[in-house]
Amino acid sequence: MWTLPEPMLAAPVSDPELPPGWAAEVKWDGWRAMLSVDAGRVALRSRKGTDLAPAFPEVRSAAAQLPDATAMDGELVVWESGCLAFERLQGRLQRRAGAARLAEQWPAHFVAFDLLRVEGTDTTRWPYRRRRARLETLFAEHRLSAPWALCPSTTDAATVREWLTRWTAVGLEGVVFKRLDGLYEPSVRGWRKYKARETEEAVVGAFTGPRATPRTLLLGRYDADGRLRFIGRSTTLPQTAGRAIAPLLTPAGDDHPWTGWTFSAGWGTREPLHVTLVQPDLVVEVGVDVARDSAGRWRHPARWHRARPDLSPADTPPFA
């Protein structure tokens, strides 16, 4: 059976302008997913390699619409009241037993943005413009319908500006830029991404408060030597967020990188903070300002945004 490659990645940029020789695609507020159909077998996996097929039965069953020996890269999204509802995705991995009911209540869509294989032909060595044209033909020839959707792509800078101006209200997260002559390179950050929302990702290393409803999160990032460095603490979590994140946190083992550390209870005080260490494998998205201390840590509490169980610690920026 053909094996899905590792996903190609994007490096963050601060300039939203479309470079010459590149195309832009909408960056959706969802979960990255890769899908393949081979001899009737359907593989649907996350960016971390997690098997998503049991959690998204509506996508798995709809794979019958695709030609055999075909694979796509894309984003799983859920729409609710005309907007993307990221929180409807988070419950899928935690409640797989009820996946069929959740699929009926809030059906997911697979927004395809790249073609990896088509009818037995590996397309990863094709330039983007050729992969994109064949992906569009695939949708047209097979008249693909929900849950399949084709991600918009453009080489027009004015269209990109319109996306960033008008589409953010419904859940556009930003844009991804791809070289028109670029190949699909697994694990390589050859694409560029511009985020319309000022948020950052970090790894949860510990929390305060009760296990059932964590109160605040202690966050870290890995440095160039692979050490988890403390970068800051979150604001107090809403109780609903605390209850939702608790099942995603795994108790730490004896080898936790922060074992024996003492944390301050607050900025400007030496009072020790009582924390519970957890395995540093959950990524969360937080809002931060530009203030940093001399060690490169966030000077102010990070504003809670959401958990990102679809990402791995390797997807977070390095500590700098």
DSSP 45-91: EETT--B-GGG-HHHHHHGGGSPSSEEEEEEEEEEETTEE-THHHHH
CA 267, CA 301: separation in Å to the nearest integer?
A: 9
204: closest CA among 228, 238, 240? 228
* Structural tokens at position 13: 């940029």
Q: Are 311 and 282 in contact (CB under 8 A)?
A: no
Task: Give the CA distances from residue 106 to residues 50, 100, 103, 172, 315, in Å, rounded to whole numbers and listed in that order.
Answer: 21, 10, 5, 19, 27
Cβ burial, residue 271 (10 Å; 0-12/13-18/19+):
exposed
* Structural tokens at position 288: 């931060």
Q: What angle do CA 102, 116, 6 make, to 5 degrees?
A: 75
Catalytic site includes residue 193: no
Q: Are 203 and 222 in contact (CB under 8 A)?
A: yes
Which residue among the candidates 27, 178, 193, 195 is catalytic per the annotation? 27
The 8-class DSSP code of residue 171 comes to T
DSSP 232-267: EEBPPPPHHHHHHHGGG--B--TT-TTTT--EESST
Q: Are 27 and 139 in contact (CB under 8 A)?
A: no
Q: What DSSP element (H or E) covers 173?
A: strand 172-179
Cβ burial, residue 251 (10 Å; 0-12/13-18/19+):
exposed
Which residue reads 């490096």 in tokens? 11
Active-site annotation, residues: 27
